[in-house]
Chains A and B, each alone.
Chain A
C-alpha cells in the first residue's frame, strides 16, 4: 500500500499555545491559576472551577502509561502497523491524560505503568508531542 503522510494538527484559537509550545520543544498544558488543577485538551475555561483562560504551564515531559492499545491491522494508509496508541498521565498531575503513540520502543514489551518521556515528531508545519518508554531500548 502506498504510504500517505500522517495528518498534521490544525490548531484553533484555544489550542494554539499548546501547538506553539510543542514547536519550541515544550510540553505545555493548562494549569488553572485559581484552583491549581490541570486539564487537557485545552479549553477556554477551567473545567474544575470555571476560571477563564487557564494559563499554559510547561511540564517536564515525563509520565506514565495509563493504558495502551496496539493496532495490528491497518485502518489508514498513513499509519504503518504495528503502532501503539496510549493514554499517558503526566508526572506533575496524574489527573491529566494525553493521547499519544509510543514511539521508538519495543511494543512487545510495553506495560501499563511504564515510565515515558516526551519526544517530538514533525507533522506538516507543526511538531507533535509523542512519548517513548523512558530508558527503553531504541530500535
Chain B
C-alpha cells in the first residue's frame, strides 16, 4: 500500500557526458540526458505530457518549454521550473511523482542541467556598496560566498556538539572516491587518502576543499510514470514507495532553529510515516553530498544511527563503502562522479535497484533511499524494486 493516490514508477534514467574544463552548451547536455532517459524508458518523446526541472541561476539550464519545443511535444499537462527553494535536483522527480500520482500528467520527464561554471567562486568580484534584503544581516559581514561559510559554520558546530573529528568528515570524501573508481562515468576517480583529505586547501576554516562537491558540466534525467503504464514498457520499473519534503522550524539557510540538521529530521520522520519500509530495509542510499556535512546529517536524521554517532557508526568508512551495511552514493556522488545536484543520486539508486551497476553493484539491492538538500530545502524518497 502506498500513500500516493496512484502507484508511481521510475522507468528511465539518462546522463549527458560529464566533463570538466570545456563548456558544452547546456541545451546539448539537456537533450543528451533527456533523450537517453526517454530511450531507456522505451517511450516515444511525444508521449511525455509533463516536464519538471530545477535551476538556481538564470541561464544554467534550458527551461521546460524549450525542452518541450525541442522534443516536439504537442502540449504539457503539468510542468514547473522549480527555482531555488526545493530539494535541489531531486525536486523535479519528487514533484513529478506527485503530479503523476494525482493524475495531473501521465509521463513526466525530469532533469537537472548544471554547467561547471555555475556558482563558481574562483573570481573575486567587486564588493557591492550597499546590501539589502537578507544580505543586510549576512553579506555585510563578508558572508560571501555564503554557501561555503554555511557549511564551515555547520561543521564547526557539529565538531563542538558531538566531538565529530575531521577524519570522520573525511570518511565521506574517501568513500566517494572508492565508489567513483568503480564508475566509468565519474569525472573524479583519483584514489584519496586521509592525508590527502586533511591536507586539502582550506576554503573557509574548517571547511576543506575536499568537503565540497566536484563541479562538472552535466545533465541527468529521470522519467516518471504510473505503475500501470510502466507495465507496458520493456524495462524493469523501480517503484516509488514514499516521497516527503521537509524544511524544519525557522526555515532559513543561516538562521534556522536547527543549524546542523535543518529540515532533514522532519523530512525523515514524514518519510518513514509514509513508507511501507523501515530503516532496516535499506540496501542502498543516495544522500545529497554537496558538502560532506550533509550525508552525515541525513544518515542520522533517517535513523540509520543515532544523533551524534555517525563517527562510530561509519567504522572508518566500512559502513558506507563497497560491501558496507549501507552503501552510500555508489556512483561517487556529487563529490566524485560530479555535481549534478541530487537527481544523479536518484538515477544511480534506480540503476542499483535494476542491478545494472556492474563492478559496483550492491548485491540483492531491493530498497533504496534518496535525499536532497539538507538545510531548509529537504526532500527524500523511498524507492524499491517491487
Interface positions of A (Cβ within 8 A of B): 1, 4-12, 15, 19, 40-41, 47, 66-79, 83, 85-87, 95, 97-101, 112-113, 123-124, 128
User: In the docked arrangement, what's the CA distance between A85 and B317, Å?
Assistant: 31
Given contacts A47-B250, A67-B154, contact A76 B259 (CB under 8 A): no
Note all chain A residues with C-beta closer than 8 A to B156: 67-69, 112
In the complex, the chain B residue whose C-beta lies closest to that of A74 is B124
Pairs across A and B, CB under 8 Å, 23 listed: A6-B140, A6-B142, A7-B139, A9-B130, A9-B140, A10-B131, A11-B132, A41-B255, A67-B160, A68-B153, A69-B205, A69-B206, A71-B204, A75-B142, A75-B144, A77-B127, A83-B142, A85-B142, A87-B254, A99-B254, A112-B160, A124-B130, A128-B140
Closest chain B CB from A62 CB (angstroms): 19
Q: Is the CB of A41 within 8 A of B134?
A: yes
Q: Is the CB of B129 within 8 A of A75?
A: no
User: In the docked arrangement, what's the CA distance between A104 and B259, Å?
Assistant: 26
Closest chain A CB from B22 CB (angstroms): 25
Q: Is the CB of A85 within 8 A of B141?
A: yes
Note all chain B residues with C-beta closer than 8 A to A10: 130-132, 136
User: In the docked arrangement, what's the CA distance between A87 and B250, Å?
Assistant: 15
Q: Is the CB of A9 within 8 A of B254?
A: no
Q: Does B125 sit within 8 A of A, measured CB to CB?
A: yes
Interface positions of B (Cβ within 8 A of A): 121, 124-134, 136-145, 149, 152-154, 156-157, 160, 202-207, 250, 254-255, 257, 259
Q: Is the CB of A76 within 8 A of B144?
A: yes
B153 in complex: contacting residue of A1, A41, A85, A98, CB < 8 Å? A85
Given contacts A7-B129, A10-B130, A67-B160, contact A73 B203 (CB under 8 A): yes
Which has the most chain A C-beta neighbours within 10 Å: B130, B142, B250? Answer: B142
A76 in complex: contacting residue of B125, B137, B138, B205, CB < 8 Å? B125
The 3 A-B residue pairs with the shortest CB-CB distance, nearest first, are: A78-B127, A69-B152, A67-B157
Given contacts A5-B129, A10-B131, A85-B141, contact A69 B160 (CB under 8 A): no
In the complex, the chain A residue whose C-beta lies closest to that of B133 is A12
Note all chain B residues with C-beta closer than 8 A to A6: 127, 140, 142
Q: Is the CB of A7 within 8 A of B126?
A: no
Q: Is the CB of A100 within 8 A of B203?
A: no
Known: A9-B136, A76-B142. 14 other contacts (CB 8 A): A7-B131, A10-B136, A11-B132, A66-B259, A67-B160, A67-B259, A68-B156, A71-B205, A75-B124, A76-B127, A85-B153, A86-B153, A112-B156, A112-B157
